[in-house]
Amino acid sequence: MDTVRWIITIAPEIFLLLAIAIGTILGRMRIHGISIGTTTCILIVAVLIGQLGNFTFPPILRTILFSLFVFTIGYRSGPEFFASLRFRTLAQVVLALVIGGTGLALVLFFASSFKLDPGTAAGLTAGALTQSSVIGTASGALAQLGLPKAALEQQEANIAAGYAVTYVLGYILTLLFVPFVAPRLMQVDLKMEAAKLEVQLAGGAPPKTENLSYRKFQARAYRVSTAAGRRIEAIEAEIGHRTVVERIVRRGADIAPHRDTMLEPGDDIVLTGPTAGLVTAKPVIGTEIDADELLRNLPGNVIEVLVENRRLHGRSIREVAEIVGDNARGVFLRALTRMGREVPLGPDTRVYIGDVMTLVGSTSNIARATAQVGHALHAGDRTDIAFLAGGIAVGLLAGLANFKVGAVARALGGGGGALIAGIVCGWLRSRKPTMGALPPAAQQTLSDLGLGGFIAAIGLGNGLAAWSAIQAHGLLLVGMGIVVTLIPMTVGTLFAYYVLRMNPVVTCGALAGAMTVDAAVTGACDVAGSQTPVLGVAVPYAVGNVVLTVLGPIVVARTFTA
């Protein structure tokens, strides 16, 4: 033990990294398909390791780690957050606000009734509402209260204790509530409602596979005979299925294909499009030929494009095609992904900022369409470190600004400042895609490392006091946590279905998004036998991340002055 204590004194960062590593491994484990998540496991491991001795970390380490995490949240949510402030997505925004507001009211009620200290109330908020970032914003708010060092450490320990006790239960209850309880409250069969929604998305046609997914994109070569003397525009219109003449070779020379180009006998052309269109092209054009050289030189591509154009937010795929217009010629939508999950495709499927479109077509056509949609995602994209560091620095500076709540001076705090800076920087990036690159993989790394390191530092530094707090208030926190988790979702479900008149399938996805437990969507999709619940996740998730994060300072302020 003397050796362990010596290492704790000399190099406590070793245990911090061990807590992250062990907690992450445990968080990936699934029991009956359910995982409690890496954040909770890291905190629990850190609290247990914290029993070995007195861990001390410089405050700047925690500030930087949490700033990286909360800035990334803001950066990821910023474009969707601003774009969601429109009439088309107003119902989903209101649902997220109702859930956050109900949760806040319940926490303040319990804090007043049971005389909870600010740390315990903040931990209850973070765990029961399944929003880990509340820990950081609440810790920042506590640091501004001028508490003695021992009292501040105890409050931080109480945050860790409240979170550790309530998060696991809140997470599991959310996973069960969304697919099983919410449909019962709305008195609907989720599977039947999903089938109806698929019909609606398919434009009223029966929900067959071909209506909701992409048919294979191909390119074939033909020698013009039947089509001689006709314009390309007429040929494409007759074949249909958005097929496009990509290339014309006339007497050995390439001819630029325009809509008004007249085809001549003996022209070799390359036609691209879905298989359904190409199989009907032969009688319209002429003989299909085996022209490997024609097809080999055709610059085809499959590109993932991040949707950033505000004009497309909340629009159906049919409307998106109309907005993009001729720029979509020769480009086909293979898949639409939202928060890592594929969305069912149909003419009425809605597109939101932050979605990822998988586009198929020639390189030139995709480049033209991409400019109207957002920007292409490339594996080799590098993070703009100057933009990242500068944005966080500005956010931390803004967090120092004081304002008054009644007679008490308050500051936004580093966490709040970094969050707002992230939102603004993410929005700026959506407006000017050439600046501030922060690829999705880098976002996930910064988010995981920042939150994991911050949580580990909290657990290690306050392990002894947190364990005592858990033993003293564990059962009470469990009871309050159940209420704070279930009541907001119940209120949100009934309000969305009976007041906002939201589709029940979309409501289930929106509940998961507003609670920022996107894993709950998987359960809803399984019960529905469809991916349609994913349609409701994006906007509430963006709003929920912001709204729930700012609850930390509010809870601290209200319980400290109460």
What is the SS3 string spanning 102-127? Answer: HHHHHHHHHHHHCCCCHHHHHHHHHH
Relative to beta strand 374-377, strand 356-362 is unpaired
204: phi then psi, degrees, rounded to nearest 5 = 95, -5
pLDDT tens-place string over residues 2-33: 788 888 888 989 999 999 999 999 888 877 66
Our measurement of the distance from residue 525's CA atom to the centroid of its chain's CA atoms, rounded to an integer in Å, reads 17
Our measurement of the distance from residue 393's CA atom to the centroid of its chain's CA atoms, rounded to an integer in Å, reads 24
Residue 427 pLDDT:
81
With a CB cutoff of 8 Å and minimum separation 6, the contacts of 478 are 165, 166, 169
Domain 301-361 has CATH 3.30.70.1450: yes
Nearest to 353 by CA among 375, 334, 368, 369: 375
The CA-atom distances, in angstroms, between 422 and each of 81, 393, 394, 425, 546 are: 11, 11, 10, 5, 11
Nearest to 411 by CA among 150, 143, 117, 68: 143
Our measurement of the distance from residue 62's CA atom to the centroid of its chain's CA atoms, rounded to an integer in Å, reads 24
State which residues of the chain have pLDDT below 70.
32-36, 83-88, 202-217, 276, 291-300, 379-381, 402-412, 433-434, 561-562
Q: Where in the chain is the domain with CATH 3.30.70.1450?
A: 217-297, 301-361
pLDDT tens-place string over residues 478-522: 899 999 999 999 999 999 999 999 999 999 999 999 998 877 888
For the chain, percent of residues with pLDDT exceeding 90: 20
Q: For 274-287, b where at least 16 C-beta lie within 10 A, e where not — what string?
A: beebbeebeebbbe
Residue 50 pLDDT:
86
Report the top-level CATH class of 217-297: alpha beta
Q: Which helix (H) or strand (E) holds 304?
A: strand 300-307
Are 404 and 59 in contact by the 8 Å Cβ rule? The answer is: no
What is the Cα–Cα distance from 24 to 32, expressed in whole angstroms? Answer: 18
With a CB cutoff of 8 Å and minimum separation 6, the contacts of 491 are 98, 99, 102
- Look-up: residue for tokens 């907690």? 23
What is the Cα–Cα distance from 161 to 465, expressed in whole angstroms? Answer: 9
Are 353 and 307 in contact by the 8 Å Cβ rule? The answer is: yes
Q: Which helix (H) or strand (E) holds 80?
A: helix 59-83
What is the Cα–Cα distance from 140 to 398, expressed in whole angstroms? Answer: 14
Residue 430 pLDDT:
73
Tokens of 502: 């939201």
Residue 239 pLDDT:
84
- Alpha helices, DSSP H only, in 330-462? 363-373, 385-398, 413-431, 440-461
Q: Which conformational region is residue 377 in: left (phi greater than 0), alpha (psi within -120 to 50 degrees), or beta? A: beta
State the CB neighbour count (10 A cutoff) for residue 13. Answer: 15
Residue 209 pLDDT:
38
Q: For 33-70, b where at least 16 C-beta lie within 10 A, e where not — what string?
A: eebbbbbbbbbbbbbebbebbebebeeeebbbbbbbbb
Q: Which helix (H) or strand (E) holds 271?
A: strand 268-274
- Look-up: residue for tokens 């402030």? 85
Relative to beta strand 341-342, strand 374-377 is unpaired
Residue 407 pLDDT:
45
* Angle at the Cα of 420 from the Cα atoms of 415 and 426, rounded to 5 degrees: 125
